């Protein structure tokens, strides 16, 4: 069997793998990426949050993305009937980027991958990991290309960024069910022929249909828009009689008083995708010679668009630590990787859970708004979930629920 030797092998060329590999290459590490599919490929996850910009910038990927003219996302609108709550990232607590993009992922990820190749990374498409053996920190990964030919890749470190491919969680028995209750989604892209002129047409919006059910509307600069419905799995299953995803999504759109006119009669550009029970977790985030990043590790929920931010945060953090380890330093992966990533995951877990209990919706739609609370929650929604100066980060587990209970009590008294 053919054999290759590298310092770091990255599995998967999604945003996580691209950030990792670009940063490793920038630091003169001999890195190789293997990607199962041929790009461009369709993937969900189109609304970014500002924290990702730090990673694209640091990895040297920002200029190539910026040239593409993706739709700028300056904040997000949440709607519940006639109530509206708009977050503006320039009005957030603390430091950080004020904007990001809303993107068709096929084009966005393809731009990322091509830029990684331009930077000299050896990225092999249509090459799938089918097995791996660890011997201390060293590893031998078996990959198979589209012609069925296999080869071995010897690496001193492996970063698994394989998304829902979940290569190492499957091969090393690291799968763990998510703590979140089962939710599912159906989405498609539409040619947005009824799009309004100006900000209304391009504003990213989340329309609440019921406390646990919401519709996403993510307009792209190419004139198309992503429309998706999210809810408890049994609710999404009930939307169509025989599992017809297109029928289910049409029904969901008809439930939105605000968007039914814009999307009620438009055609789907592809057969809507049904993503069932999308949350996932792992028993551990690292081991001797490997780290798990992005959706190959934990995925929570789409409601606050945190998936890509964790994918790039994990990719960047793993790359930095792998460099130190390759340079002979002893790295404390528990503290510097697992505990660090899980701190952010735990903050977002609170916000996701409190969204679906309805508590966070109480805060979002409460009038009059409290500007201090809003700025702090806005920083969380921008992905700055490691800034412990922010009380809505530091005491996330009590801050949201206590404030929501206070609002509810005041409402009852009134």
The rounded distance, in Å, linking the Cα atoms of 228 and 368 is 30
> C-beta of 187: minimal distance to ligand FAD in Å?
6
Q: Verify binding: residue 299, ligand FAD, rule CB under 6 A.
A: yes
User: What is the phi/psi pair of residue 6, to 5°?
Assistant: -135, 170
Is the omega angle on the peptide bond into residue 368 within 30 degrees of 0, that is, cis? yes
> Half-sphere exposure of 84 toward its Cβ, with a 13 Å CA cutoff?
9
Site string for ligand FAD, 119-138 (x = CB under 6 A): ---------xx---------
Nearer to ligand FAD, 320 or 366 (CB): 320
Choose between 99 and 391: whose C-beta lies nearer to ligand FAD.
99
Binding status of residue 302 toward ligand FAD by CB under 6 A: yes
Q: Is 298 a residue that touches ligand FAD (CB under 6 A)?
A: no
Report the residue number, 40 or 94, with the smaller CB distance to ligand FAD: 40
Residue 189 engages ligand FAD in binding (rule: CB under 6 A): no
Of 38-97, binders to ligand FAD (CB under 6 A) are 43-48
The rounded distance, in Å, linking the Cα atoms of 137 and 159 is: 12
**Between 102 and 350, CB nearer to ligand FAD:** 102
Residues 315-374 that bind ligand FAD (CB under 6 A): none
Find the binder of ligand FAD among 20, 111, 162, 349 (CB under 6 A).
162
Q: Determine, following the binding rule CB under 6 A, whether residue 380 of this chain makes contact with ligand FAD.
A: no
For ligand FAD, the closer CB: 139 or 161: 161
Structure tokens at 303: 């409601």
Query: Which of 240, 305, 359, 390 touches ligand FAD by CB under 6 A?
Result: 305
Q: Considering the rule CB under 6 A, would residue 214 count as an interface residue with ligand FAD? A: no
Other CB atoms within a 10 A radius of the CB of residue 213 amount to: 19
Segment lying near ligand FAD (by CB under 6 A), choices 288-296, 324-332, 381-389, 401-409? 288-296
Q: Does 269 bind ligand FAD (CB under 6 A)?
A: no
Tokens of 286: 């690292």
400 CA to centre of own chain: 23
Cα-based distances in Å from 104 to 7, 211, 378, 397? 33, 27, 24, 34
CA distance 53 to 216: 22
By CB under 6 A, what part of segment 6-45 binds ligand FAD?
Answer: 11-17, 34-37, 43-45
Taking the least distance from each CB to ligand FAD, the nearer of 93 and 108 is 108
Asked if residues 218 and 187 have their Cβ atoms less than 8 Å apart, the reply is: no
Say how far apart CA 46 and CA 30 lie, in whole Å: 31
231/408 Cα distance (integer angstroms): 24
CB of 408 to ligand FAD, least distance (A): 29
Q: Which residues contact 59 (CB under 8 A, 6 or more apart)?
A: 18, 19, 22, 23, 26, 316
Residue 289 contacts residue 9 (beta carbons within 8 Å)? no
190 binds ligand FAD (CB under 6 A): no
Q: Which residues bind ligand FAD (CB under 6 A)?
A: 11-17, 34-37, 43-48, 128-129, 161-165, 167, 185, 275, 278, 294-296, 299, 302, 305, 307-308, 311
């Amino acid at each position: 069997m053919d054999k290759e030797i590298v310092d770091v092998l990255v599995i998967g060329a999604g945003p996580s793998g691209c950030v990792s590999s670009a940063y490793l290459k920038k630091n003169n590490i001999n890195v190789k990426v293997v990607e199962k599919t041929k790009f461009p490929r369709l993937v969900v996850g189109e609304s970014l949050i500002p924290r990702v910009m730090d990673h694209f910038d640091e990895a040297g990927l920002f200029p190539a993305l910026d040239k593409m003219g993706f739709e700028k996302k300056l904040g997000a609108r949440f709607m519940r009937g006639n109530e509206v709550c708009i977050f503006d990232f320039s009005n957030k607590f603390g430091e950080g980027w004020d904007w990001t993009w809303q993107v068709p992922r096929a084009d966005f990820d393809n731009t990322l991958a091509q830029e990684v190749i331009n930077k000299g990374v050896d990225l092999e498409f249509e090459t799938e990991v089918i097995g791996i053996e660890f011997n201390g920190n060293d590893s031998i990964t078996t990959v198979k290309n589209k012609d069925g030919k296999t080869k071995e890749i010897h690496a001193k470190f492996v970063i698994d960024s394989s998304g829902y491919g979940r290569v190492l969680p499957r091969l090393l028995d690291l799968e763990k069910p998510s703590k979140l209750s089962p939710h599912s989604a159906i989405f498609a892209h539409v040619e947005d022929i009824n799009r309004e002129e100006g900000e209304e047409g391009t504003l990213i919006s989340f329309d609440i249909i019921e406390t646990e059910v919401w519709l996403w509307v993510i307009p792209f600069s190419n004139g198309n828009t992503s429309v998706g419905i999210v809810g408890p799995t049994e609710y999404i299953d009930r939307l169509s009689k025989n599992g017809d995803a297109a029928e289910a999504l049409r029904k969901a759109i008809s439930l939105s008083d605000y968007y039914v006119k814009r999307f009620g009669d438009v055609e789907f550009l592809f057969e809507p995708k049904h993503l069932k029970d999308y949350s996932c977790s792992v028993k551990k985030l690292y081991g001797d010679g490997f780290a798990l990043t992005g959706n190959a590790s934990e995925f929570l929920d789409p409601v606050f668009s945190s998936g890509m931010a964790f994918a790039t945060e994990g990719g960047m953090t793993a790359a930095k630590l792998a460099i130190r380890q390759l340079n002979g330093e002893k790295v404390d992966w528990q503290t510097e990787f697992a505990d660090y990533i899980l701190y952010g995951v735990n903050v977002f877990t609170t916000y996701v859970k409190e969204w679906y209990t309805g508590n966070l919706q109480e805060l979002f739609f409460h009038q009059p708004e409290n500007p201090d609370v809003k700025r702090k929650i806005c920083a969380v929604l921008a992905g700055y979930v490691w800034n412990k100066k922010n009380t809505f980060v530091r005491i996330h587990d009590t801050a949201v629920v206590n404030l929501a209970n206070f609002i509810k009590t005041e409402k009852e008294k009134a």
